[in-house]
Amino acid sequence: MAIVSSPRLRLAAIVAGSMLAGAVMTGTAFAYQGHMWSALHALQTAETQLQLASPDKGGYRGQAIQLVQQAITAVNEGIQYGATH
């Protein structure tokens, strides 16, 4: 029997794992960049909600997911840059 049997729980577990991986990759930068960390958390929450939403949105849900993922990447890069400069 699978530990996470529901597709929504499985997706939530994947997103949570991604958040943890992001935290590990950016290291201690979170301690010095509270607003960036808050923005990252909000974007990850938005991505989770979009993933859980029903897919019949005329393609706008998928577009929103891509844009949020791009924003997550940009915020992570900003955090990494801030940690080294």
Q: Above pLDDT 90, what percent of the chain?
A: 52
User: Is residue 4 assigned to a domain?
Assistant: no
Cβ-Cβ contacts under 8 Å for 83 (sequence gap 6 or more): 26, 27, 28, 29, 32, 33
Q: How far apart are CA 25 and CA 56, in angstroms?
A: 34
Question: Has residue 57 been placed in a domain?
Answer: yes
Q: Are 80 and 26 in contact (CB under 8 A)?
A: yes
In tens, the pLDDT along 36-51 reads 999 999 999 999 999 9
Q: Is the residue at 20 inside a domain?
A: no
Q: Is residue 36 part of a domain?
A: yes
- Give the pLDDT confidence of 3-14 residue by residue, as tens digits: 556 777 777 667
In a domain, residue 19? The reply is no
Query: What's the number of domains the chain is made of?
Result: 1
Higher pLDDT, 38 or 28: 38
Q: What range defines the domain where residue 70 resides?
A: 29-84
Domain annotation covers residue 21: no
